[in-house]
Amino acid sequence: MRCLSTLALGAGLCLVAATAPAQMDHKGMGHDMAASMPNRPMKASMAQMNRMMRGWPKASQEAVMFMTKKYGAPMHLNEHMALWGQTGPWKRTVVYNYEVNHQFPGPHTDVMQQWVNYRVPADKFSDLGRYDGSVVPERTNGEISARCDKEAANLLALNLADEIITGKRSPDDARKMYGEQIMKMKGGQSAPYTERLMFTPAAGSTNDPDHP
């Protein structure tokens, strides 16, 4: 992978040339590519970003624009994805150039995945799967992520995941609460679970090497 040197205009964003096809597998692309990308401080204009995202789904483009307005330009952008490192509560954020159909709590597409450090007990994985298929615990990495179309929805998803893990809610109760909070948010009412993380991600290592 290399940065396009003609676009090196200053600090902030790198437009990245296409990587080998093996790295572009949609399964785990966010983690694998985030780990392999060098952090080279470069930036490009919004026009250059728009050209790179030409043909992306509308939801993906809107997610990139939201993140750029709130946190600044992505660290890396190529025709497949945009990547931010540590921003706000997030360990990293990836916006993909493809959509995944998701019908809970209503029809939308998942395009933006956001991670935090969190060691999820192995016996809670099934509960999280029953709760929301777009919440992804990663035992070896010691991370948990949520994937939706908006940051507020990812905050909500992880806040409720934390309450399932800590025994405050059942998966069914969490699903009900998720729908209620989304409806309040869309109606302009107070929906605190969508506004911030209500738990503190671990600061140190949370990985689990899974020793035999």
Residue ranges of domains in the chain: 58-70+81-194
Specify the pLDDT at position 211: 84
Taking only the tens place, the pLDDT of each residue in 7-40 is: 322 334 555 543 333 334 444 444 444 444 444 4
Specify the pLDDT at position 5: 30
45 touches 32 (CB < 8 A): no
Segment (H or E) for 108: strand 108-117
Specify the pLDDT at position 210: 86
pTM of the full predicted structure? Answer: 0.81
DSSP letter string, 47-88: HHHHHHTTT--HHHHHHHHHHHHHH-S-SEE-SSEEEE-SBT
Taking only the tens place, the pLDDT of each residue in 68-112 is: 999 999 999 999 999 999 999 999 999 999 999 999 998 999 999
State the average pLDDT over residues 111-140. 97
Phi-psi region of 122 (alpha: psi -120 to 50; beta: other; left: phi over 0): alpha
State the average pLDDT over residues 150-176. 98
CB under 8 Å to 7, separation ≥6 — which residues? 14, 15, 42, 44, 48
